Copies of this chain bind each other. A is one copy, B any other.
Amino acid sequence: MRIGLLGFGVVGRGVYELTAPRDDMTVAKVVCLEDVTLPDAQVTKDFKDVLNDPTIDTVVEAMGGLHPAYEFVKAAIEAGKHIVTSNKALVATFYDELIPLAQEKGVCFRCTAAVGGGIGWLSELERARRMQTIEKVGGIMNGTCNYILDSMTRLGLGYADALKQAQQLGYAEANPTTDVEGIDTWHKVILSSNVAFGIRLDTATVPVAGISRIQATDVENFTAHGLVCKLISTGKCKDGKISAYVQPTLVKQGEPESAVPANYNLITFVGSASDRMSFYGQGAGRYPTAYNVVQDCADVLLGKGFYSPCGEKVAAENTDTLCYYVRGGMDAWLQENTAETWGDAVITKPVSVEAMHRWLKDQPEAFIAALAE
């Protein structure tokens, strides 16, 4: 396998290092806008040097972002090259177009590192689908949020201090919006649901609430009630009906999710035969992520295409009812749905996920967290 590697940042450099000692794959060219000199690969600033090189059979995209990653990946598929990417935003956003295109062109498309970093999550879903129906996917898919929530819970930090610490440790970006508002998790649960259920989720029907409004007083409230707050994603398929959402969720102390420390992930599927299976590991970082990129390259060598069929376009119907912790935004709807009061917050009666997220849209101050089922 001769690889054209797009991007030479954290993940790209890891891929270069992990492939270097291998006989079965070679990074032949690296597209990188900085000046880098590499002993074994040609470095270029022009993607066309990869695209037009007939000896390069596989493009590894490790640039991140939507553009020009989308244009490059699309052009590479059209040129008959296999794709390996760790870019969840790209795959979740352009799933509808890129996956059918890859299947039409007969090229492999792998993106295991896009969900769970070092966890072989999508490849395990592919394996699980051989034997059983997947009923549920989800869990803790973002290490930044878990680090912040864990620091607030275990060390009693406020949100701003916990975020600052995460940034100092390299667990959060200077602009943390994508992580803390749940967008990264949202991309990952959309992609996971697509693979698990063999569908194409209408992304506009998947609501997301992040953690940026959580305060130390909320965490004190949770601890006093034996609960731990985690940002949890959910994708479910029951009787052909799909539900999917991302929201802060309160799990009982002692549950596996409650014990996930620092920047780790814990991702779960429930299968008709295997029951609950969870995967715990590093959801990000140079070598864990590069590890699964290189695993994908090995699977391309085995001729593995995409993980599942690219099925029907489906809208999520989030009619599940849950009780929610809500602080702020008291109005007639919330008052009507209040079951009890916890300090300056309330616990709602069971309300549908869809209704809660619709209400939240008009609330610039409110913080919500679902009580786990």
Which of A's residues lie within 8 Å of B, judged by CB?
18, 118-120, 123-124, 127, 130-132, 154, 254-256, 258-261, 266, 268, 271, 273-282, 285, 287-288, 290-292, 294-295, 298
* Docked-complex contact A18 and B275, CB < 8 angstroms: no
Least CB distance from A18 to B in Å reads 6
Q: How far is the CA of A131 from the CA of B289 in the complex (A)?
A: 12
Closest to A286 in B: B273
A281 / chain B contacts, CB cutoff of 8 Å: 274-278
**Interface secondary structure of A, over-half rule:** mixed
Q: How far is the CA of A270 from the CA of B243 in the complex (A)?
A: 35
On whether A118 and B275 interact (CB within 8 A), knowing A131-B295, A254-B261, A256-B256, the answer reads yes
Q: How far is the CA of A151 from the CA of B276 in the complex (A)?
A: 21
Least CB distance from A95 to B in Å reads 25
A255 / chain B contacts, CB cutoff of 8 Å: 259, 261
Q: How far is the CA of A256 from the CA of B257 in the complex (A)?
A: 9
A266 / chain B contacts, CB cutoff of 8 Å: 280
Say which residue of B132, B274, B279, B295 sits within 8 Å of A130 (CB atoms). B295
Q: How far is the CA of A294 from the CA of B273 in the complex (A)?
A: 11
Q: How far is the CA of A119 from the CA of B124 in the complex (A)?
A: 10
On whether A256 and B275 interact (CB within 8 A), knowing A18-B131, A127-B123, A130-B295, the answer reads no
* Docked-complex contact B132 and A291, CB < 8 angstroms: yes
Say which residue of B124, B254, B288, B295 sits within 8 Å of A275 (CB atoms). B288
* Docked-complex contact A280 and B282, CB < 8 angstroms: no
* Docked-complex contact A287 and B273, CB < 8 angstroms: yes
A120 / chain B contacts, CB cutoff of 8 Å: 124, 127, 277
Can you give 9 A-B contacts (C-beta < 8 A)?
A127-B295, A130-B298, A132-B291, A259-B259, A275-B281, A275-B282, A275-B285, A277-B281, A279-B279
Say which residue of B123, B254, B275, B287 sits within 8 Å of A259 (CB atoms). B254
A295 / chain B contacts, CB cutoff of 8 Å: 127, 130-131
A276-B281, A277-B279, A278-B281 known, 13 other contacts, Cβ within 8 Å: A119-B277, A120-B277, A123-B127, A127-B295, A131-B294, A131-B298, A256-B259, A258-B259, A268-B280, A271-B291, A273-B294, A275-B285, A278-B279
Closest to A130 in B: B298
Q: How far is the CA of A367 from the CA of B111 in the complex (A)?
A: 48
Closest to A254 in B: B259
* Docked-complex contact B254 and A118, CB < 8 angstroms: no
A258 / chain B contacts, CB cutoff of 8 Å: 259
A278 / chain B contacts, CB cutoff of 8 Å: 279-281
Least CB distance from A167 to B in Å reads 21
Among A154, A279, A290, chain B packs the most CB atoms within 10 A around the CB of A279
